Chain A
Amino acid sequence: MIRDFSFLDVLILLRATQWTIALSLIAFIGGIALGLVIAIMRTAKYKIPRIISMLYVELFQGTPLLMQLFVLFFGMNIIGIKVNAWTAAAIGLTLYTSAFLGEIWRGCIQAIPKGQWEAAQSLGLNYLHQIVLIIFPQALRIATPPTVGFLVQVIKSTSLVSILGFVELTRAAQLVNNATYAPLLTFSIVSIIYFMLCFPLSSLSLKLEKRLGKIDLERTKTKNLENF
């Protein structure tokens, strides 16, 4: 024990929480942008984009995030791009998030009745307009609850970045614990902080889901996507 656990340590943890939030936001925003591309490719008319995006989703959903981070971290350094833990973490989490969001949204897009596509076509809209004007606004409604719910998974996933050595909330907790040797107190506080970040979001997701009603939910055939 180097020092006693004090209020200072709580401040250290709260400061580190900022990094957890920043990393979550970057991964979420990046994941939304890339996930949109994946969802469009997954529902495309042509086979090649469908296959490529399917393999992408398969790869990122079928391997542990931790291993993805390591491969990315060492892989990018090999091909000559020097990355630090922060960049590797941001890129890794973005790719991971995009695969899951892409798959969630594929389900939402496919839940839109075929007649909507046909109606849009018969109005003479091109593919981009069909998607942007007709399909997206409807899909957005059923996509919101699972998307908000997945943000919780993103926040929790950022804890893995601590293993790469990046100092966010979980890593800060380890450092505080090493210095104070008060593991129960430290990790309890950290759990509370994570809980306060995640619980409002999961409750919101549930509330939005209930508001949608049963018919919409049965239409979305998104599978259970909660993870660690």
Chain B
Amino acid sequence: MNYVFQFETLLREWPLLLDGLLLTLRLSVTAMVVGLAVGTAGAAASVYGTKIMRIFMRCYVELIRNTPFLVQLFMIFLGLPAIGIRLSPDAAAATALTINIGAYASEIIRAGIEAVPHGQIEAGTALGLTRFQVFRLIVVKQAFMTVFPALSSQFILLILGTSVVSAIASEELSATANSIQSRTFRAFEVYFIVTAIYLFLAIFFREIFRFVYRRWVHKT
């Protein structure tokens, strides 16, 4: 083995890596927040909705869960322009990530809603709350408490999954790695460092979720 590792050449590239990291964070957080809203609405639709809404939700969830994210991304970035909807790489990436996480989130939250004991809902109704108030004040809160761990591990997988959007040249962390390696030819070093950054991100977010869980969700 006569390969000389050169991590120093990469030190000069830090502004690029930082930009990539920021976009990765922006994409992840956008998808988490919007995906959570989609997931909550979707879960409500699949539990309380009309038959058509429930069938729609079933199709949405199964379609997303049984096809690769990369194909979904290509469908949005390459397929939609054919019907006149043209998105920039970043917008396409954010849309695809949100649609994807929305399906997983609605499935997780649905399980949480179904786990809320029926007596809770009856108690709410007996207090004179409307159906929406019961949902908002009683069901959602308890459902989120139950599914918090599952949702947070799904969100961490989402952060790692954002690397896939480099395939459509959205300049996040992985795409930055691609462009640095094509300029410096230090492929191994670049990918090694970027992988380490992802590992750090995953651990960092996991600890944040754990902290939130212990502090506010499941007080011990």
Also in contact, A227 and B157, with CB within 8 A (given A152-B66, A191-B75): yes
| Contact of B63 with A68 in the complex, beta carbons under 8 Å | no
Which of A71, A182, A183 is B195 in contact with, Cβ under 8 Å? A71
Which of A58, A67, A158 is B194 in contact with, Cβ under 8 Å? A67
| Contact of A156 with B67 in the complex, beta carbons under 8 Å | yes
Interface string of B141-178 (1 = CB under 8 A from A): 00000000110011011001111101100000010010
In the complex the two chains form, what is the Cα distance from A65 to B149 in whole Å? 22
What residues on B are CB-neighbors of A66 within 8 Å?
A: 163-164, 166, 174
| Contact of A195 with B67 in the complex, beta carbons under 8 Å | yes
Interface string of A180-202 (1 = CB under 8 A from B): 00111001101100110011001
Interface string of A159-187 (1 = CB under 8 A from B): 11011000000100110010000111001
Interface string of B174-201 (1 = CB under 8 A from A): 1001000000000110011011001100
Which of B3, B70, B79 is A170 in contact with, Cβ under 8 Å? B70
| Contact of A191 with B65 in the complex, beta carbons under 8 Å | no
In the complex the two chains form, what is the Cα distance from A67 to B202 in whole Å? 14
| Contact of B153 with A224 in the complex, beta carbons under 8 Å | yes
Whether, in the assembled complex, A49 has its beta carbon less than 8 Å from a beta carbon of chain B, the answer is: no
Whether, in the assembled complex, B208 has its beta carbon less than 8 Å from a beta carbon of chain A, the answer is: no
In the complex the two chains form, what is the Cα distance from A225 to B108 in whole Å? 12
Also in contact, A159 and B71, with CB within 8 A (given A79-B1, A187-B78): yes
When C-beta atoms are compared, the residue in chain A nearest to B200 turns out to be: A62
What residues on A are CB-neighbors of B66 within 8 Å?
A: 152, 156, 194-195, 198-199, 202
| Contact of A177 with B154 in the complex, beta carbons under 8 Å | no
Which of B65, B78, B104 is A202 in contact with, Cβ under 8 Å? B65
| Contact of B174 with A223 in the complex, beta carbons under 8 Å | no
Within 8 A of A (CB), among B122-154: 149-150, 153-154
| Contact of B83 with A184 in the complex, beta carbons under 8 Å | yes
Which of A65, A68, A177, A226 is B78 in contact with, Cβ under 8 Å? A177
Whether, in the assembled complex, A115 has its beta carbon less than 8 Å from a beta carbon of chain B, the answer is: no
In the complex the two chains form, what is the Cα distance from A173 to B194 in whole Å? 28
What residues on B are CB-neighbors of A199 within 8 Å?
A: 62, 66
When C-beta atoms are compared, the residue in chain B nearest to A70 turns out to be: B191
Please give the distance in Å from A195's CB to the nearest CB on chain B.
5
When C-beta atoms are compared, the residue in chain B nearest to A174 turns out to be: B74
In the complex the two chains form, what is the Cα distance from A117 to B79 in whole Å? 56
In the complex the two chains form, what is the Cα distance from A45 to B163 in whole Å? 37
Please give the distance in Å from B13's CB to the nearest CB on chain A.
16
Which of B71, B150, B198 is A64 in contact with, Cβ under 8 Å? B198
| Contact of B203 with A62 in the complex, beta carbons under 8 Å | yes
Whether, in the assembled complex, A78 has its beta carbon less than 8 Å from a beta carbon of chain B, the answer is: yes
| Contact of B154 with A224 in the complex, beta carbons under 8 Å | yes
Whether, in the assembled complex, A94 has its beta carbon less than 8 Å from a beta carbon of chain B, the answer is: no
| Contact of A62 with B83 in the complex, beta carbons under 8 Å | no
Please give the distance in Å from A199's CB to the nearest CB on chain B.
5
Whether, in the assembled complex, A204 has its beta carbon less than 8 Å from a beta carbon of chain B, the answer is: no
| Contact of A195 with B63 in the complex, beta carbons under 8 Å | yes
| Contact of A78 with B3 in the complex, beta carbons under 8 Å | yes
In the complex the two chains form, what is the Cα distance from A158 to B70 in whole Å? 10
User: Most chain-A CB neighbours within 10 Å: which of B83, B156, B177, B199?
Assistant: B199
14 further contact pairs, Cβ within 8 A, besides A63-B199, A74-B187, A227-B160: A62-B198, A64-B195, A66-B166, A156-B67, A159-B70, A170-B70, A184-B82, A187-B74, A194-B67, A194-B71, A224-B108, A226-B65, A226-B104, A228-B68
9 contacts between A and B (CB under 8 A): A62-B202, A63-B160, A64-B162, A79-B3, A170-B71, A183-B75, A194-B67, A194-B68, A228-B161
